[in-house]
Chain A
Amino acid sequence: MQQRRKLDQKQINQELLSGNLKTPKWYIPTMLFLGFFVVTGFATILYMFNKGLGVTGLSRPVYWGLFITTFVFWVGISHAGIMISAILRLTQAEWRRPVTRAAELLTVFSLLTALFFPLMHAGRPWRIVYWLMPYDFARGIWPNVRSPLFWDPIAIGTYLTGSTLFLYIALIPDLAVLRDRTTGWQKVFYTILALGWRGNPRQWLLQAVAGILLSALMLPIFVSVHSIVSWDFAITPSVEGWHSTIFAPYFVIGAVHSGVSAVVTMMALMRWLWKWNNHIRPEHFDALARLLIVVATAWLGCTFLELIFSVYGREAPEIALRELMIFTWPWNLLFIIFLLTGYIIPVGFWIFKKARNNIVIMFWTSILVNVGMWLERFLIIVPGLARKQPFTFTWEAYTPSLVEWYILVWSFAWVSFLMLLFARFFPLIPLFETKESQVFTSETKIGRATVPVIYREED
């Protein structure tokens, strides 16, 4: 709190709209660089559609590989937004303010990207659309509501719609600021989007109530989405290591862990790229890291429970699976990297206040977390499938092909590309929240000490 500076609204506008009102120098080269991967990535996807899934490493019995891993990964990242904006808004954490919009944005774009993967994975995406939405009613074939593969698109669709609307509602006051600062076609664009916002008490009151109400509505959706993704695996009795009751909360907590870490990565980048040193301050990283210690430890607890209970039944196939996963090359290497990067190294740093306040350390540790979390999904999905089971006549190790790896790289470039594109037209840090925070915080003197004060309205 001591790092806070008093800023007037004009200065806040100037600083936070710097990337919207003119193009930063680094912007076009970066977009070109990312654009290259986006275009070639899409070309690779089209190539795969043309040649068929044979160009991937997927083969009997491992049919779920890198694509599904990455799908779960991006759905996981999408849990950042609502975690930060909804939970922190409901608990009235003052430090959430500069982070909310970017986190919600990450939710929207990572969900959008996640949706690509099951479609690609199906090989013939036009067919999967028919399964979900049998547009030609004459045949009388309807989707099977008992299949979790049908729950997935419903849940993700709900979450995507909800978080996009949430993002938009909180954007309206800022769109009005942009409307007042632009000319020409841009003014028309922002005028339409701002819906004629003037900032009277009624509109501000609704904005505040909306924040709380939508948070409360989005929170249960947020929990359900990754639970449903986890049930894709957990309700299958036939694959060892998947049929566990802890999967739903385990996936949700893991998603929060990876999502909040991704927000940390993004905040560091925002601070460096747009030089928002007045707004994204070490205290924010400190608060997020403390939150992450709790989340990471809860997640580790779930991992522990999952492992304990996998061998609890003392069934030979389960024990053999865990032996493969933990002790057999090359899975053991992946397992060690997963534990080190997912928990031990990052949390080892975060318990020290100095590391929490050091943005470079926070940046790199948050990336490590996501390496670990990606591996976690890979280790859940692939070894279970790769093992010999009754009635499988062939089994072999799965090696992802170059095409799959390239599509993985594409997904990162694609999300970053979309984020930067958004950042060119809309402010990444909510202006009105920043201004509100200036109104609702102050300082008081107690003896010789200066204590930060937060104003709260009486109920």
Chain B
Amino acid sequence: MSKKSILGLFDTPDQGADALDGLHNAGFESHECDVLTGTPYPEGTFGEHVPQHRLFRFPLFGAIIGLTLSIFITTATQIAYPLVTGGKPILSIFAMLIIMYEMTMLSAVVTTVVGIIFESRLPKFNLGAYDTRITEGLIGVVVNCEEKDLSKAKKVFTDSGALDTKEA
């Protein structure tokens, strides 16, 4: 039972949306189908399933780590080497605040970036059924299904006016 994927290439978003409708009518599940485009379209343009993500948790998590770490570093280093300068207290909260702020933000940004890559389900170097013309403006509709269903999908694609189909 090997999963295969098939790609249909369409000229306009309308044809892509028709193809996706066709696939649903032919009994394919939402999670089996995907739309590939060279540019973002408004959410739900192709009637596709709107993806859910948890990106907003990442910066929060990162900020907490950064804050904790920075509180530790600023206090520990100052206590470890207590040199009074400028008549200021060894634990000068107003100066430490600046370091804490920067480290919190840094950590939040880094975890956000990790989150973006993770939530985009990247890196994934095996592209599956893909065509370079997608980045030239064609709309690609992909189905990941059992090998036996490929012909059904292909028929939907040709019926919806696909310029080309590809299997991988």
Contact = CB atoms under 8 A, between A and B. Distances in A.
Interface of A: 8-10, 13, 140-147, 150-151, 154-155, 157-158, 161-162, 165-166, 168-169, 172, 176-177, 180-181, 191, 195-210, 213-214, 217-218, 220-221, 224, 228, 432, 435-436, 438-440, 455, 457
A177 B136 CA distance: 8
Nearest to A218: B109
A29 to B, nearest CB: 32
A440 B42 contact: yes
A196 B92 contact: no
A41 to B, nearest CB: 30
B137 A208 contact: no
A146 B99 CA distance: 10
Q: Tell me what chain A mostly uses at the interface: helix, strand, loop, or mixed.
A: helix
B35 interface: yes
Given A140-B81, A217-B59, A206 B105 contact: no
Contacts, number: 180
Nearest to B137: A9
B85 A146 contact: yes
B108 A217 contact: yes
Contact of A221 (B35, B109, B135): B109
22 contacts: A8-B137, A9-B135, A13-B135, A144-B83, A145-B77, A146-B88, A151-B95, A151-B98, A154-B102, A180-B134, A195-B124, A196-B125, A198-B128, A199-B135, A201-B51, A202-B119, A206-B120, A208-B40, A214-B109, A218-B109, A435-B39, A439-B40
Given A195-B123, A198-B36, A224-B98, 14 more contacts: A144-B83, A147-B85, A181-B135, A196-B122, A199-B36, A199-B134, A204-B40, A206-B116, A214-B113, A214-B116, A217-B105, A218-B109, A220-B105, A455-B42
Given A9-B38, A161-B110, A201-B50, A195 B132 contact: no
Nearest to B43: A457
Given A147-B85, A169-B116, A214-B112, A10 B78 contact: no
Contact of A195 (B38, B59, B117): B117
A454 to B, nearest CB: 12
Contacts of B106: 157-158, 161-162, 221
A196 B126 contact: yes
A155 B85 CA distance: 21
B134 A206 contact: no
Given A158-B102, A201-B51, A196 B109 contact: no
A143 B74 CA distance: 9
Contacts of A145: 74, 77-78, 92, 95-96, 99
Contacts of B95: 145-146, 151
A132 to B, nearest CB: 12
A228 B86 CA distance: 18
Nearest to B125: A196
The 6 closest A-B pairs by CB, nearest first: A9-B137, A435-B39, A180-B132, A142-B77, A195-B123, A202-B51
